[in-house]
Amino acid sequence: MSESSEDMLIQRAGSVEAIKGPSDWFTGTVRIDKIFNAPAPSRLGMAVVNFEPGARTNWHTHPLGQMLLVTDGVGWTQCEGGPRTEIRPGDIIYCNCGRRHWHGATDTTYMQHVAVQEAENGSPVTWMEPVSDEDYLGGPVKKD
């Protein structure tokens, strides 16, 4: 349930039911706890996303980019052609406009992040194919 006044809209904790991350967008067990899309004319939206060990997004792009704030656990992220990179609580990640990437938990740890993005023509994301186990587990992990 949301409350509003002339100046702001407040979505109260626990007022929106968590949903299971759709298998068309994710591999593994993913829970989306909070989703909030600001009313027009804003294009801003956000979600709190929880990844169990081994869970990750499919490859995807954002027409106007995406900001991630890791809030718990340890995860990995990767832009196509770049290194798989470790992400930890407090890290802020900017996924550039139109760049194919994925993010999720490591193979042994849970990870939670807040995702913030803008929609273009009503869509904040273009979902693509699942990240293969070879891509997910392949190569060294950049930790700095």
pLDDT in tens, the chain (144 residues): 455 556 788 888 888 899 999 999 999 999 999 888 888 889 999 999 999 999 999 999 999 999 999 999 999 999 999 999 999 999 999 998 889 999 999 999 999 999 999 999 989 999 999 999 999 998 889 997
Separation CA 105–CA 143 (nearest Å):
14
Separation CA 77–CA 92 (nearest Å):
12
Residues in the chain: 144
Q: Provide the whole-model pTM.
A: 0.90
pLDDT score of 2: 58
Separation CA 22–CA 120 (nearest Å):
21
Give the chain's domains with CATH numbers. 17-137 (2.60.120.10)
